[in-house]
A = this chain, B = another copy of it.
Amino acid sequence: MAAVTALIMRHEANIVTLDQYSDDPEGGAFFQRVVFHRPGLSIALPQIDADVAETLDPYGVQWVLTDQSVPKRMAILASTSDHCLLELLWRHRRGELPVTIPMLISNHTNVAEDVRSFGLPFFHVPSQGPDKSAAEARILELLGGNVDLVVLARYMQIISEDVLDAVGVPVINIHHSFLPAFIGAAPYRKAAERGVKLIGATSHYVTKDLDEGPIIEQDVARVDHTMDAAALQARGAYVERAVLSRAVQWHAQDRVIRHGNHTIVFP
Residues of A at the B interface (CB closer than 8 Å) are: 1-2, 5-6, 9, 14-23, 25, 37, 83, 86, 90, 94, 96, 117, 178-182, 193-198, 200, 214-220, 224-226, 228, 234, 238, 242, 261-265, 267
Report yes or no: B90 in contact with A86, Cβ–Cβ below 8 A: yes
Report yes or no: A20 in contact with B18, Cβ–Cβ below 8 A: yes
Give Cα distance in the complex from A219 to B196, angstroms: 10
A-B CB contact pairs (8 Å), 30 listed = A1-B18, A5-B5, A6-B6, A14-B25, A16-B22, A16-B25, A17-B21, A17-B22, A18-B18, A18-B20, A21-B226, A23-B228, A25-B37, A86-B90, A96-B234, A178-B181, A179-B194, A180-B181, A180-B196, A194-B261, A196-B215, A197-B216, A198-B200, A198-B218, A198-B219, A198-B220, A224-B265, A225-B262, A225-B264, A267-B267
Report yes or no: B234 in contact with A215, Cβ–Cβ below 8 A: no
The residue in chain B whose Cβ has the minimal distance to the Cβ of A266 is B225
CB distance from A215 to the nearest CB of B (A): 5
> A264: which B residues are within 8 A, CB to CB?
225
Give Cα distance in the complex from A238 to B194, angstroms: 24
> A9: which B residues are within 8 A, CB to CB?
2
Cβ-neighbour of A238 out of B182, B242, B262 (below 8 A): B242
Give Cα distance in the complex from A265 to B179, angstroms: 25
Cβ-neighbour of A20 out of B1, B17, B21, B37 (below 8 A): B17
The residue in chain B whose Cβ has the minimal distance to the Cβ of A223 is B218
CB distance from A202 to the nearest CB of B (A): 8
The residue in chain B whose Cβ has the minimal distance to the Cβ of A8 is B2
Report yes or no: A263 in contact with B2, Cβ–Cβ below 8 A: no
Report yes or no: B261 in contact with A195, Cβ–Cβ below 8 A: yes
User: Known contacts A18-B18, A117-B117, A197-B216; can you find 20 more A-B pairs with CB under 8 A?
Assistant: A1-B5, A1-B15, A2-B5, A6-B6, A16-B22, A17-B22, A18-B20, A19-B19, A21-B225, A23-B228, A25-B37, A83-B94, A178-B178, A181-B181, A195-B261, A197-B218, A197-B265, A198-B200, A224-B265, A225-B262
A195-B214 in contact given A19-B19, A20-B18 (Cβ < 8 Å): yes
Report yes or no: A197 in contact with B215, Cβ–Cβ below 8 A: yes
> A179: which B residues are within 8 A, CB to CB?
181, 194, 196
